[in-house]
């Protein structure tokens, strides 16, 4: 019996069709804004959702209007046979798009398999082209692997690849223009993301946020005025621009200085099956427990709706009542 489609609309009228799936909390590098440098406590394997469990949950979400998925983590490419999960998810009829966010360290050897499995889009994280700066951020020397991963992804035919760069004051200003040139030369869409308070070292402060506005000024000094690009999807978090002569595409994501919560259409599932209605959510809904108790799809969707209905209007970063979630970024899924 097929379920009626009652979309996941929250109390502020936001319709949720976008699910970010963390497939692991593990990672092969250690970005300081996301993970501790050492002694990281990873989830034991039996706590992580199996591919079958993920597929079953996505089928339920698909019945209530979720049609966009993004695989993330931790680093999704450290999960074995991740291309098989892509293939399974792409086989769910309602799913329009399966994308992935990756650090690209392992991408060169997996790009072809991912393309074959049907992965639609790739976001690749690269905060710096200067080797020392990248090492300072990731605590590993991985620049060559990342560049090889980008090249391999383009070679196997991935289009509209996005480069994501976290913008950190005092650390990445000098990277803005080299990254912009690199992206333009290689036909990549570059997005700068303001540094958010999800680091495990708890060293984030408002003063360390290199704002989207400052980045825009840096870019415009070099390339001339940016022209706002047409917004095809109002739930996209980025303010998109084109360079003056119509070339390239640049996105600025300002979660801290100009939050986009009022159009948020995202839900997040952690690697161990906890559903979150916001990156900064202080509450979670345990879908794995239901799954492993043999719950029906209706029971699973009832919990999903409870999560959606509890969604707050927005986060309070930088405000007096802001409370950090206990989890850091790699334990949530960025």
Q: Which chain residues interact with ligand SF4 by CB under 6 A?
A: 27, 29-31, 34-35, 73-75, 103, 125, 329-330
Strands 274-276 and 227-228: unpaired
Which entry of ligand SAM, ligand SF4, none binds 106, CB below 5 to 8 A by partner kind? none
Question: DSSP labels for 4-31?
Answer: P----B-TT--B--EEEEE--S--SS--
Distance CA 273, CA 51 (A): 12
- One of 17, 18, 24, 102 touching ligand SAM (CB under 6 A): 102
> Any contact of residue 145 with ligand SAM (CB under 6 A)?
no
Cross-strand pairs, 33: none
Output b/e per residue, 77-115; b: 16+ Cβ within 10 A.
Answer: bbbeebbebbbbbbebeebeebbbbbbbbbbbebbebbb
User: For residue 2, what are its two tokens?
Assistant: 């097929």
Question: According to CB under 6 A, which one of 101, 133, 281, 331 is a site residue for ligand SAM?
Answer: 101
Stretch 175-234 residues interacting with ligand SAM (CB under 6 A): 193, 195-196, 198-199
Q: Who contacts 206 (Cβ-Cβ below 8 Å, separation ≥6)?
A: 256, 318
Enumerate helices (H) and strands (E) in the chain, giving the number of each: 10, 12
Q: How far is the CB of 57 from ligand SF4 (least distance, A)?
A: 21
Segment lying near ligand SAM (by CB under 6 A), choices 43-51, 100-108, 153-161, 257-265: 100-108
Nearest approach, Cβ of residue 191 and ligand SAM (Å): 9
Rounded least distance, CB 59 to ligand SAM, Å:
24
Q: For ligand SAM, which is the closer residue by CB, 10 or 75?
A: 75
Going by C-alpha positions, the residue among 86, 116, 58 that lies closest to residue 273 is 58
Between 75 and 83, CB nearer to ligand SF4:
75
Q: CA dist 334 to 70, 80, 118, 222, Å?
A: 10, 20, 22, 30
Q: Closest distance between ligand SF4 and the C-beta of residue 269, in Å?
A: 16
Query: Residues 58-77 vs ligand SAM: string with x where CB under 6 A?
Result: --------------xx-x--
Residue 255 Cβ vs ligand SF4, minimum distance, rounded to whole Å: 15
Q: How far is CA 281 from the centre of its chain?
A: 16
* Residues lying near ligand SAM in the complex (CB under 6 A): 27, 33-34, 72-73, 75, 101-103, 125, 164, 166, 193, 195-196, 198-199, 329-330, 334
């Amino acid at each position: 019996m097929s379920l009626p489609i009652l979309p996941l609309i929250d109390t502020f009228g936001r319709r949720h069709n976008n699910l970010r799936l963390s497939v692991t909390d593990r990672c092969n590098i250690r970005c300081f804004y996301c993970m501790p440098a050492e002694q990281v406590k990873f989830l034991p394997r039996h706590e992580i959702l199996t591919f079958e469990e993920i597929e079953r949950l996505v089928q339920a979400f698909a019945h209530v209007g979720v049609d966009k998925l993004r695989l993330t983590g931790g680093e999704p490419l450290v999960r074995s046979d991740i291309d098989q999960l892509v293939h399974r998810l792409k086989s769910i009829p309602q799913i329009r798009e399966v994308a992935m966010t990756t650090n690209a360290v392992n991408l060169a050897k997996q790009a072809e398999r991912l393309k074959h499995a049907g992965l639609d889009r790739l976001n690749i994280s690269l905060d710096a082209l200067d080797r020392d700066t990248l090492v300072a951020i990731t605590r590993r020397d991985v620049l060559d692997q990342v560049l090889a991963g980008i090249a391999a992804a383009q070679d196997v035919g991935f289009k509209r690849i996005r480069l994501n760069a976290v913008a950190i004051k005092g650390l990445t200003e000098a990277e803005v223009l080299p990254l912009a040139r690199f992206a333009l030369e290689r036909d990549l869409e570059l997005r700068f993301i303001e540094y958010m308070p999800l680091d495990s070292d708890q060293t984030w402060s408002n003063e360390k946020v290199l704002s989207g506005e400052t980045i825009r000024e840096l870019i415009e000094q070099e390339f001339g005025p940016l022209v706002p690009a047409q917004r095809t999807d109002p739930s996209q978090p980025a303010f998109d621009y084109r360079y003056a002569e119509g070339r390239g595409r640049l996105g600025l994501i300002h979660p801290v200085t100009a939050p986009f919560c009022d159009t948020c259409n995202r839900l997040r599932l952690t690697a161990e099956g906890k559903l979150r209605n916001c990156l900064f959510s202080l509450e979670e809904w345990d879908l794995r427990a239901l799954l492993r108790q043999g719950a029906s799809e209706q029971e699973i969707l009832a919990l999903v709706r409870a999560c959606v209905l509890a969604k707050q209007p927005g986060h309070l970063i930088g405000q007096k009542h802001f409370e950090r979630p206990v989890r850091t970024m790699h334990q949530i899924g960025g």
